[in-house]
Structure 1
Amino acid sequence: MTRRNACKRLERFKPALCRFFTLSLTASLSLPVMADFRPLDDSSLGNVTGQTGVTIEMETKIEMDRLSWTDEGSLNVNGIRLSGHNDTVLDNLKLTLDIAGQDEVLEYGFSEIARRANAGLLDVSNPDVADALARYAVGGGYGKQFDSGDLVIHLGATDYGNPASLDDYLQAVDFELAVDSIEATGSGGTASLFSNVMLQGYIGPTDLVIRNQGNNTRTLANGNVVSGSELQLDTHFEITDGSLDWDAADVILLFNFAAVGIEGLQIHNRRGDDTLGHFGMASATAKLSRGTSAASGKEGLSIHEVDFRADIDMPVFKVGGTSIGSVQFTDFAIKNTTMMVYGH
């Protein structure tokens, strides 16, 4: 059969093929599934909204030559580096981001410890483990209960190692922070405040929560009025080895040392009376929001309900280059602290 004859035969089938296609399409549209093509109401749309949040696995290394704040003079932080131990990549980080529903329980603090304890992987005779189980087992889940619209960001590890090992959990994320110098510069020249800063340690569970309270306000004990919508920070960490030269600087308006060198610095929480629930790690919490000062009437950034707890060891404490022995702080605590920050 020639190609021309074959084409002529196909031409005769075209009308039949068109009728078959039209009937098939009509039949398919008349099937019961067609009845599901209808507008969704608000309730139905709510059911198809994503509910599970976002997880980000991250590794990074941050370097900055200089960070400067300039007024009449300037304050310079030089040679900043954040990495893993020994200048490696800061890795094994996992961020979970969730917008909470009303009374939703989300991962928070040492909730992973509570989950393992409930599964029989950790010994509840350990006081810290027992405290975590009591504190973070909430409503059939593990974590903390939040209000509708709260944004919860939890920093933990991608891989915690052996699920029956507390050490693996606590040392899952290692970090190293280095700063060449912190200097103040003015018309009289440059003064070094700190130099040769090197800190190594571990990052424990860290949480950032943006509480959604709309335009509501509340009054603090000192009379300051602050927004109910605030940023809440809760973190645990440990410094296992640190060193710095304390050239001249005030710290929390209490200490002013000059020509001091510190080696073997450790910051933890393994001694004293407030260790329960911290697994040997130092802790810090704070809340930040817009506020109005009761004393001055100024509006600014309110930093309130600050709480820092740690034991601090300085085994080598040098003055003028010569060691004068070791210094230790036990149950070092900053609490009941409120600050209002504004320009002038």
Structure 2
Amino acid sequence: MKTGLQRRALCLPLLLAPTLASAEIQALDDQSLSQVIGQAGVTIELETRIDLDRFSYIDEGSVSVYDLSLSDPDGTALDNMKVTVDVAGDGEVLEHGFSEIARRANAGLISGSNPDVADALDKYAVGGSFGKQFNSGDAVIHIGPTDAGDPTSMQDYLQAVDFRLAIGEVRAEGPEDSATMFSNIQLEGYLGPTDIVVRNAGEATRTLANGNVVSASELQFDTHFEISGGSLDWDVGNVILLFSFAGVGIEGLAIHNRWGDDTLGHFGMASATAKLSNGTSADSGKEGLSIHDVEFRADIDMPVFKVGGTSIGTVQFEDFVISNTNMMVYGH
């Protein structure tokens, strides 16, 4: 990342400091000025707690989320998060995904015999560095742990950032009636490496498989996470219009990626990716927000599945994958 400092900005603080009047002040020439150009980006150590009484999307009626809280599992501020922000140079390699694991394995701190580690070494090795190569002007945000514990422990790294998300209820509300869709949502787990990238491709466009034309300058989102314990009441709702879970209570919910055939490269964590940009629908010709290349991969375990307050057994989804998903969102 390169941040130029203009001479005028450098001189202004000196002019405002009378205590330096006796000091010798010399203008910087171009060669000297080049030495103060930053190269390393910005690192933010983040601690935060988020509380929200109500969030609503309002049209003729509304859908509202009540009593949302995001915090550490013990109720204090969500902490131990390190956010790095860079604007890439042409071909610059920056941290991405599980590149830190690959870096440790290359240094001999973690065994490369683990299949996930071997995959990371192959996926994130770029020349003599580990990460992902970016184009000039790409804005790159990477979220990982500030303190990852023992550098020889993958578990310490994967469980370094723990969180709790609580939501009182999600309601559909009309002028006279309302219905609770979900309530008593409690989710605890771990946030894995998360990347937000704004790709700089100028005015270039590309055509998706469904014919939609989208901007090649796009926001790319990529995250890994694990829900280690959760519960909720599913009062009225469907999962992609296939599974009606109305009147269901779920306890001990776990979302991860440890079963089946689709676990390689995820270190036991669920994953979600998506890209967002301006686009034009091939079907309607409407211009709007394109959400494309969406992918979600996880195993889902519901050990206590209640109907009418009584457990009817266990429900599991193995290799649950949503892929080849594209959406065009516009007003009507």
Q: TM-score, normalised by structure 2?
A: 0.90
Distance in 2 separating the partners of 1:123 and 1:240: 25
Considering only CA atoms, is the larger Rg found in Structure 1 or Structure 2?
A: 1
Conservation of the 8 A alpha-carbon contact between 2:238 and 2:246: no
Q: Structure 1 residue 121: deviation in Å? A: 0.5
Conservation of the 8 A alpha-carbon contact between 2:294 and 2:326: yes
Distance in 1 separating the partners of 2:67 and 2:308: 24
Equivalent residue for 1:303, pick from 281, 285, 291: 291
Whichever residue aligns with residue 288 of structure 2, its letter is: G
Q: Structure 1 residue 253: deviation in Å? A: 2.9
Distance in 1 separating the partners of 2:80 and 2:72: 10
1:268 aligns with 2:256: yes
Structure 2 segments unaligned to the other structure (5+ residues): 1-23
Give the secondary structure class of the aligned counterpart of 1:278: coil
Equivalent residue for 1:93, pick from 58, 77, 81: 81
Distance in 2 separating the partners of 1:287 and 1:46: 36
Distance in 1 separating the partners of 2:308 and 2:169: 18
1:235 aligns with 2:229: no
Distance in 2 separating the partners of 1:157 and 1:200: 17
Structure 1 segments unaligned to the other structure (5+ residues): 1-28
Distance in 2 separating the partners of 1:167 and 1:203: 12
Distance in 2 separating the partners of 1:269 and 1:180: 27
Whichever residue aligns with residue 169 of structure 2, its letter is: S
After superposition, residues 1-344 of structure 1 pair within 5 angstroms as 39-40=29-30, 48-344=36-332
Distance in 2 separating the partners of 1:300 and 1:142: 36
Q: Could you say what the CA RMSD is over the residues aligned between the two structures, in angstroms? A: 1.6
Conservation of the 8 A alpha-carbon contact between 1:208 and 1:232: yes
Quote the sequence identity (%). 69
The Cα offsets for residues 104-138 of structure 1, whole Å up to 9 and x where unpaired, read as 00000001101100110001111011111111121
Distance in 2 separating the partners of 1:311 and 1:138: 31
Give the secondary structure class of the aligned counterpart of 2:109: coil
Distance in 2 separating the partners of 1:301 and 1:217: 14
Whichever residue aligns with residue 328 of structure 1, its letter is: Q
Whichever residue aligns with residue 40 of structure 1, its letter is: D
The Cα offsets for residues 273-301 of structure 1, whole Å up to 9 and x where unpaired, read as 11001000000110000000000001111
The Cα offsets for residues 153-186 of structure 1, whole Å up to 9 and x where unpaired, read as 0000000000000110000000000000000111
Whichever residue aligns with residue 296 of structure 1, its letter is: S
Distance in 1 separating the partners of 2:151 and 2:313: 40
Q: Structure 1 residue 38: deviation in Å? A: 7.2
Distance in 1 separating the partners of 2:238 and 2:287: 26
Conservation of the 8 A alpha-carbon contact between 1:105 and 1:139: no
The Cα offsets for residues 200-251 of structure 1, whole Å up to 9 and x where unpaired, read as 0000000000000111111101000000100000100000000000000133
Q: Structure 1 residue 45: deviation in Å? A: 6.0
Q: Structure 1 residue 88: deviation in Å? A: 2.3
Q: Which moved more, 1:85-94 or 1:239-248?
A: 85-94
